[in-house]
């Protein structure tokens, strides 16, 4: 039985399990203690000291690393503690680029919020020498600006502990301490997988996505270009947060209307691309099962995961599905199938993808993802970037009527929409693979065993007479553990789904940023996934192979899953990558 201890926090009696920190005990009592470096379950190092409290000891102590003790009397808001925190905050600001009006995180910055709470107005109390750094903007996905870094080390923790990549860390000492890559290399020269999880946890503007919105505005204003846009499944589950809607609000209709008002010539849906991916991927799985192909087959929808595999686990490259990711498939179809139907020269078509993922920016530039000298996708913007465009255009998002996607590549099934949540690709593939293998109708399409936000999930699914052993994992850290067990012969699977980001695309590096206080009490992954599963449940069609526009695509153009033309346009290959560039 768990041992409980009793303490008092600001006069409130609190009972918590032994081992609970004072910070978490205070939250149990509804007492707010400010934090900057702390991130629940990821970073508790007491570095920023903003969470100091008075316990009667000789000096204030950091609540995030202080274990609650029996009979402890904690005071969190004395005049001395408030003064201590304000002084610490002013010291942080003394080496911080305070161009707040032009900062990408203005109004959504934890440092800015804390200044308001503690009454710090100008941040010049300790004005003096400040470090100056060159902005690292070489990566196609991530910009690092150490002039704004407050050394909280959240990015270091998530990169190392969660993603098992570890390409950034503290260098130098004292006032010269900085978060850098080894040997002074730029992020793009390291084995960064472009996932953007470091952006999601940064409390300030030291990390943000590469802004490609101007490229989109330029394309939209070019009369010689026909601009096609496609939003990913997870975007509709989070875009509303940028406009004050509750987390987990599905805003598919408003999103489609907003995209049309921005001036795109066609608004297609990456959910269609997801259904198309399932047609090819399920066929590939069946072929491997029946012809003795390489197993387990591993999904290839997540570009962060693909780059992780190429870099850290190249021996598993033969296991990867050869299928392109959904938005790349739709891009390929836009510049072939749609171009032919519409009578447009593919060279004049610009494909814009709205993604929850910063790694998609890197993916779009891969030379192997294109045909006839044209990239499948020309520009990738994140959910955050789309929100900025909507605001810049003066569109009142919350008052928009619900609109529809354009036909030809706008229809989707429930299987397509759940791609945005961990386990969704697996579930969608099983729905189609079951009927392909057995020839019978799958009555219950819900595969509950592969749902949920656990880092690694396992299940055995009965498909006709076969037992199909599957695994689902999210975060590359969990992928590493799973692959190590497969490599050692401890685990055997038929099919594995991997998503680079914890919880899947709903928690991608390009999604709306949620501050640490909200993350401590709300599971962002679960709330956003509810929107996708809710749409799935309401869809009249819930299996990819039932999509009427997909059927028409194969009848008119692709012939059948796995055909020569399908392989030419919808499949690709991968190769090992070095850990860093010389």
Nearest Cα residue to 335 out of 409, 264, 392, 277 = 409
Catalytic: which of 368, 392, 448, 559?
Answer: 368
Cβ–Cβ under 8 Å, residues 467 and 457 = no
Catalytic: which of 209, 363, 435, 497?
Answer: 363
Tell me if residue 281 is catalytic.
yes
pLDDT computed for residue 582 by the predictor:
65
pLDDT computed for residue 360 by the predictor:
98
Catalytic: which of 321, 325, 336, 474?
Answer: 321
Catalytic: which of 152, 301, 473, 478?
Answer: 301
Catalytic: which of 266, 360, 361, 543?
Answer: 360
CA distance 17 to 291: 55
Q: CB neighbours of 515 closer than 8 A, spacing ≥ 6? A: 108, 110, 113, 203
Q: Residue 296, preceding bond cis, omega within 30 degrees?
A: yes
pLDDT in tens, the chain (582 residues): 789 999 999 999 999 999 999 999 999 999 999 999 999 999 999 999 999 999 999 999 999 999 999 999 999 999 999 999 999 999 999 999 999 999 999 999 999 999 999 999 888 889 889 999 999 999 999 999 999 999 999 999 999 999 999 999 999 999 999 999 999 999 999 999 999 999 999 999 999 999 999 999 999 999 999 999 999 999 999 999 999 999 999 999 999 999 999 999 999 999 999 999 999 999 999 999 989 999 999 999 999 999 999 999 999 999 999 999 999 999 999 999 999 999 999 999 999 999 999 999 999 999 999 999 999 999 999 999 999 999 999 999 999 999 999 999 999 999 999 999 999 999 999 999 999 989 999 999 999 999 999 999 999 998 888 889 999 999 999 999 999 999 999 999 999 999 999 999 999 999 999 999 999 999 999 999 999 999 999 999 999 999 999 999 999 999 999 999 999 999 999 999 998 876
Cβ–Cβ under 8 Å, residues 191 and 182 = no
- Rounded to two decimals, the pTM is 0.96
The C-alpha angle 344, 558, 300, rounded to 5 degrees, equals 100
Phi-psi label, residue 58: left if phi above 0, alpha if psi -120 to 50, beta otherwise = alpha
Q: Where are the beta strands (DSSP E) in 181-244?
A: 207-209, 226-231
* Torsion angle, alpha carbons of 16, 19, 22, 24, to 10: -70
Nearest Cα residue to 248 out of 539, 541, 542, 523 = 523
* Domain ranges (residues) in the chain: 4-77, 126-207, 214-570
Provide the 10 A C-beta neighbour count for residue 563.
16
Tell me if residue 368 is catalytic.
yes
Alpha-carbon distance values, 407 to 27, 267, 272, 341, 574 (Å): 50, 9, 10, 12, 33
Tell me if residue 363 is catalytic.
yes
pLDDT computed for residue 517 by the predictor:
95
Tell me if residue 215 is catalytic.
no
Provide the 10 A C-beta neighbour count for residue 460.
11
Catalytic: which of 110, 209, 242, 281?
Answer: 281
Catalytic: which of 100, 195, 473, 505?
Answer: 505
Cβ–Cβ under 8 Å, residues 389 and 213 = yes
Cβ–Cβ under 8 Å, residues 360 and 383 = no
pLDDT computed for residue 520 by the predictor:
94
What is the CATH topology of the domain spanning 126-207? Alpha-Beta Plaits (3.30.70)
Tell me if residue 497 is catalytic.
no
Element (H, E) at 473: strand 466-474
Tell me if residue 385 is catalytic.
no
Note the CATH number of domain 4-77.
3.10.20.740
Catalytic: which of 284, 497, 527, 535?
Answer: 284
CA atoms within 13 A on the CB side of 126: 13
Tell me if residue 152 is catalytic.
no
Alpha-carbon distance values, 539 to 247, 469, 551 (Å): 21, 28, 17
- What is the distance of C-alpha 464 from the center of its chain? 35
**Class of the CATH-defined domain 214-570:** alpha beta
């Amino acid at each position: 039985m768990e041992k409980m201890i009793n303490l008092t926090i600001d006069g409130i009696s609190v009972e918590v399990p032994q081992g609970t920190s004072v910070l978490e005990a205070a939250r149990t009592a509804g007492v707010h203690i400010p934090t900057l470096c702390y991130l629940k379950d990821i970073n508790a190092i007491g570095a920023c000291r903003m969470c100091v409290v008075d316990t009667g000891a000789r000096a204030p102590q950091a609540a995030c690393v202080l274990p609650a003790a029996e009979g402890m009397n904690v005071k969190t808001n004395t005049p001395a503690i408030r003064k201590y925190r304000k002084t610490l905050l002013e010291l942080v600001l003394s080496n911080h680029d305070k161009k707040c009006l032009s900062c990408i995180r203005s109004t959504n910055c934890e440092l800015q919020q804390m200044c308001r709470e503690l009454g710090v107005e100008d941040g010049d109390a300790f004005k003096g020498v400040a470090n100056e750094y060159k902005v690292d903007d070489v990566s196609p996905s991530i910009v690092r600006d150490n002039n704004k870094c407050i050394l909280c080390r959240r990015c270091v923790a998530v990169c190392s502990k969660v993603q098992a990549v570890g390409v950034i860390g503290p260098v130098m000492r004292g006032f010269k301490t900085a978060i850098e890559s080894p040997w002074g290399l730029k992020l793009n020269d390291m084995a960064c997988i472009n996932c953007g999880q470091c952006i999601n946890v940064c409390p300030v503007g030291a990390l943000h996505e590469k802004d490609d919105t101007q490229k989109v505005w330029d394309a939209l204003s070019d009369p010689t270009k026909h601009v096609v846009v496609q939003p990913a499944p997870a975007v509709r589950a989070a875009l509303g947060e940028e406009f004050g809607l509750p987390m987990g609000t599905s805003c598919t209709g408003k999103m489609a209307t907003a995209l049309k008002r921005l001036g795109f010539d066609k608004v297609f849906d990456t959910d269609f691309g997801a259904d198309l991916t399932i047609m090819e991927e399920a066929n590939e799985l069946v072929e491997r099962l029946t012809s003795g192909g390489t197993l387990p087959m591993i999904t290839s929808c997540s570009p962060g995961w693909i780059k992780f595999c190429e870099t850290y686990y190249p021996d598993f490259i033969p296991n990867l599905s050869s299928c392109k990711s959904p938005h790349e498939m739709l891009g390929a179809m836009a510049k072939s199938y749609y171009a032919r139907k519409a009578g447009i020269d593919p060279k004049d078509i610009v494909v814009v993808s709205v993604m929850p993922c910063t790694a998609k920016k890197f993916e779009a530039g891969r030379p192997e993802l294109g045909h006839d000298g044209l990239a499948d996708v020309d520009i990738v913007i994140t959910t955050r970037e789309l929100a900025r465009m909507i605001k810049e255009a003066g569109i009142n998002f919350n008052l928009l009527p619900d609109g529809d996607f354009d036909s030809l590549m706008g229809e989707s099934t429930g299987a397509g929409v759940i791609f945005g949540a961990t386990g969704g690709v697996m579930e969608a593939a099983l729905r189609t693979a079951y009927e392909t293998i057995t020839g019978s109708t799958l009555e219950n399409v819900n595969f509950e065993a592969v749902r949920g936000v656990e880092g690694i999930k396992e299940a055995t699914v009965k498909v006709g007479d076969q037992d199909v052993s599957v695994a689902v994992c999210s975060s590359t850290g969990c992928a590493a553990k799973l692959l190590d067990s497969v490599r050692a012969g401890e685990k055997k699977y038929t099919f594995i789904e991997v998503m680079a980001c914890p919880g899947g695309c709903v928690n991608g590096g390009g999604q709306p940023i949620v501050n640490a206080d909200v993350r401590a009490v709300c599971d962002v992954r679960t709330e956003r996934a509810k929107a996708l599963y809710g749409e799935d449940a309401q869809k009249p069609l819930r299996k990819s192979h039932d999509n009427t526009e997909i059927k028409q695509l194969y009848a008119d153009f692709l012939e059948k899953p796995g055909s020569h033309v399908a392989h030419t346009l919808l499949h690709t290959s991968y190769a090992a990558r070095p850990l860093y560039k010389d």
